């Protein structure tokens, strides 16, 4: 007998076997209970910050948080400036006309030109 193994890939199993597997999975999913998501205990974040301050790590944690925020702000500023410069690089009237040959010619000249 040639029975498909339990670890057989979907590409190797027949259509009927896939239907049986799908029906089994759907039945299993229908029987699963909807559990509420696990929430953080009330006041947990306050306790963590208070503990870090008591151990003397509060200033280190604050400095790290400020550095991460500053780095994120710098990335946002540079990305915004780069996007602005890129979009306004070819602000000539030819590209605004919508002529695809003029747009292609402009791009070729930008790549080949000095």
pTM score > 0.85 for this model?
no
**Is 73 inside a domain boundary?**
yes
Asked, for residue 46, whether it belongs to a domain, the answer is: no
For the chain, how far is it from start to end, CA to CA, in angstroms? Answer: 73
Residue numbers of the domain that contains 92? 65-114
Q: Is residue 48 part of a domain?
A: no
33 located within any domain: no
27/89 Cα distance (integer angstroms): 57
- Alpha helices (H) in the chain, listed in sequence order: 15-31, 44-54, 58-87, 93-97, 100-112
106, 99 in Cβ contact below 8 A?
A: no
- The predicted pLDDT at position 1 comes to 44
Whether 103 is in a domain gets the answer: yes
* Number of folded domains that form the chain: 1
**pLDDT tens, per residue, the chain with 114 residues:** 455 555 555 555 677 888 888 999 999 888 888 888 888 889 998 888 888 778 777 677 788 889 999 999 999 999 999 988 887 776 655 445 566 677 777 788 888 766
């Amino acid at each position: 007998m040639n029975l498909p193994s339990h670890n057989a890939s979907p590409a190797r199993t027949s259509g009927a076997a896939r239907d049986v597997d799908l029906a089994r999975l759907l039945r299993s999913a229908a029987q699963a209970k909807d559990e509420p998501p696990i929430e953080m205990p009330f006041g947990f974040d306050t306790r963590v910050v208070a503990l870090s301050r008591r151990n003397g790590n509060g200033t280190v944690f604050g400095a790290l948080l400020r550095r991460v925020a500053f780095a994120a702000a710098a990335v946002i500023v540079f990305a915004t400036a780069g996007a602005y410069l890129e979009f306004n690089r070819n602000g000539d009237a030819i590209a605004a006309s919508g002529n695809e040959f003029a747009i292609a010619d402009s791009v070729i000249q930008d790549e080949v030109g000095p």
